[in-house]
Amino acid sequence: NQADAQDILQETFLRFMKQIPTYRVQGKLLGYLYLIASSCCIDHLRKEQRHRHLPIEEEILTCLLYTSDAADD
């Protein structure tokens, strides 16, 4: 849902700001941000998975789509 996507987006940028000092300039910064966003989505889904039983692969795709939509706003 939209609220979860906004929470994940916020968590992504918080982690990004904390981890930016450890970033090595070997790849693109956007790729690093995407990796953090993916990790945040997976972490969120694992927490949600404890409360309900849905296929996690489907949920990961949905989460990434919502996060991408929230970032565009």
User: pLDDT digits over 61-70, tens only?
Assistant: 777 776 666 5
How far apart are alpha carbons 27 and 8 in whole angstroms?
A: 23
**What 3-state DSSP class applies to 32?**
helix
Q: Which amino acid is at 20?
A: I
Would you say residue 59 has pLDDT above 80? no
Predicted confidence (pLDDT) per residue in 11-47, tens digit: 999 999 998 888 777 778 888 888 899 999 999 988 8
- 3-state class of 50 per DSSP? coil
